[in-house]
Amino acid sequence: MSDNESNDPAVEKTQKKKVNHRKPKPWDHDGIDHWKIDPVDADNPLPAPLEESSFATLFPKYKEKYIREIWPLVTRSLKTYGILCELNLIEGSMTVKTSRKTYDPYIIIKSRDLIKLLARSVPVQQALKILKDDMHCDIVKIKNLVRNKERFVKRRQRLLGPNGCTLKAIELVTECYVLVQGNTVSAMGNIKGLKNVRRIIEKCMQNVHPIYLIKTLMIKRELENDPKLKEESWDRFLPTFKKKNVKRKKSKIVPKKKEQTPFPPAQTPRKVDLQLESGEYFMSKEEKRSKAKEQRKEKNAVSKKNKQAERAKEFVAPKEASRKRKKDDNTDATDLDIEKLKKKFKKKSSAKKDAGSASNYVL
């Protein structure tokens, strides 16, 4: 009797069960691709959802005019998928919801992403691409990644780069559409590219320049095309950037030397002392209110005059530059020397006579 064989009835029972479940399945064979995604469209619809699903998002006031203009286009695009949409200008919100004509259950998620992108200033021609199956979106909130406002503005500008060069490089490397708007960054593309975009943004907010990550992604793209390096480690090809602590010159603030005196400084007056000096301490509540009101009126009148003067400056015509005529020495009659002119004309006339007599002699 071999080691594998046993007369235990419990083991025989389990073996029988396994054999029963190993029956050939006609619908499952080697030629079937289990990872294939069948397209869902009007020709191959899925059953309509039993319950209504809806999503709403708010949009800023300055986007109201643009959204009103593009809303007919959004309505037509979503109607082809059986999605209803509403625009509420009083609340400042956009809503999408399913209907009995919705044949794709996942399209409501795509519609939610569409209105989110529109609220974050993505152009409608670009935002409508999210309705495709191979397109996904990611919205990165960068406001809370940096505490200091000045640093946040500088690092957000670093994402854009000079004339938007860095942002264009990120788009080319990741094959995604990226838009930096306010406190968020909207990205559209494939899942692999969106992961890289999020990583670049988060690292940039942690004070790592995007150019380093762009460089590594470019090298990885070249290595992917080489079939020999498929099963090898790429660490030897990827660049390693060391952190450098660059010492900056700090401007030394020299404190002004105070005059040393043996007497202590004068005590600062209290609020009550100041009120006693001005006589406000002895005033009633009504008098204090009226005085404060008068001071407020005077202050408002001064500020009003200043504003009016600033507005009036815009309507004041600029002074024209006066053209100075150049006075030549010869044009002024008083400066002319008459005797010199007489001698000049006499010389010319004598020269002409000499020339005439010479010509007669030659003839």
Confidence at residue 333, expressed as pLDDT on a 0 to 100 scale: 47
Confidence at residue 36, expressed as pLDDT on a 0 to 100 scale: 81
- Angle at the Cα of 68 from the Cα atoms of 67 and 74, rounded to 5 degrees: 65
Burial 200-209 (b: 16+ CB within 10 A, else e): bbeebbeebb
Rg from Cα positions in the chain? 44
For the chain, domains (ranges, CATH) are 38-133 (3.30.1370.10), 134-228+235-241 (3.30.1370.10)
In whole numbers, what is the pLDDT of the chain averaged over residues? 84
Residues of the chain with pLDDT under 70: 1-21, 323-336, 352-363
Spatial distance between the Cα atoms of 122 and 74, rounded to a whole number of angstroms: 13
Q: Report the candidate in 113, 111, 117 with the shortest Cα–Cα distance to residue 98.
A: 111
Q: Is the pTM of this model over 0.85?
A: no
Confidence at residue 3, expressed as pLDDT on a 0 to 100 scale: 46
What are the structure tokens assigned to 288, written together? 């204090």
Confidence at residue 1, expressed as pLDDT on a 0 to 100 scale: 44
Residue 38: C-alpha distances to residues 41, 43, 49, 61, 343 (Å): 10, 12, 19, 41, 113
Confidence at residue 242, expressed as pLDDT on a 0 to 100 scale: 76
